[in-house]
Amino acid sequence: MKTMLTLRRSLLVALVACLPGLTLYAQSMPPAAMGADIIVDIRNGDQRGKLMLRGTELAFESLTDGKQSKSWKYAEIRSLEKKRKEVRVKPYKGSRYDFQFPDNGARDRIYEEISQRILTARSQGKK
């Protein structure tokens, strides 16, 4: 069995060829489904920084005060909430973080992506 991955128009396409003469199977997935990193400009209260959705963790890197930077494995996030123009992250341990977005569209896209990554991590038992 041979597998080939290729990126086409923001979709990752997995092509699997089994045996000669058999049908080629193709499956498309968003890049994030394969753990592609996403980085967005964000605010956390008076902090400016970058919210980074990495393969196994969510991270906030403060550009205002490095001491405010924090990262969590997706399975370490107790709850995720969508409010006005922000997303609230509450970990099992430590303080909550409220990330402000410039608009609801950006908030909704990031919320959905983080939600999927949390569900995937919990289903795989990763902490």
Q: Do 80 and 118 meet the contact criterion of CB atoms below 8 Å apart?
A: yes
Domain range for residue 6? Answer: 2-32
- Which strands form 25-29's sheet, in the order they lie side by side? 2-8, 11-17, 25-29
Q: Do 94 and 76 meet the contact criterion of CB atoms below 8 Å apart?
A: no
Query: pLDDT per residue over 13-50, tens digit each?
Result: 343 444 444 443 444 444 444 468 999 999 999 999 99
Tell me: do 114 and 84 sit in the same domain: yes
Q: Do 13 and 22 meet the contact criterion of CB atoms below 8 Å apart?
A: no
Tell me: do 28 and 45 sit in the same domain: no
Q: Which residue has the tokens 């902490």?
A: 127
Tell me: do 63 and 109 sit in the same domain: yes
Reading the block at residue 115, the tokens are 């939600």
Q: Is 95 exposed, middle or buried (0-12, 13-18, 19+ CB in 10 A)?
A: exposed
CATH assignment of the domain containing 67: 2.30.29.30
Tell me: do 92 and 64 sit in the same domain: yes
Query: pLDDT per residue over 97-126, tens digit each?
Result: 999 998 999 999 999 999 999 999 999 975
pLDDT of residue 35: 60
SS3 65: coil
Tell me: do 60 and 20 sit in the same domain: no
Nearest Cα neighbor of 77 from 62, 99, 102, 105 is 99
Number of separate domains in the chain: 2
Query: pLDDT per residue over 88-105, tens digit each?
Result: 999 999 999 999 998 999
- Whether the model pTM is above 0.75: no
Tell me: do 73 and 115 sit in the same domain: yes
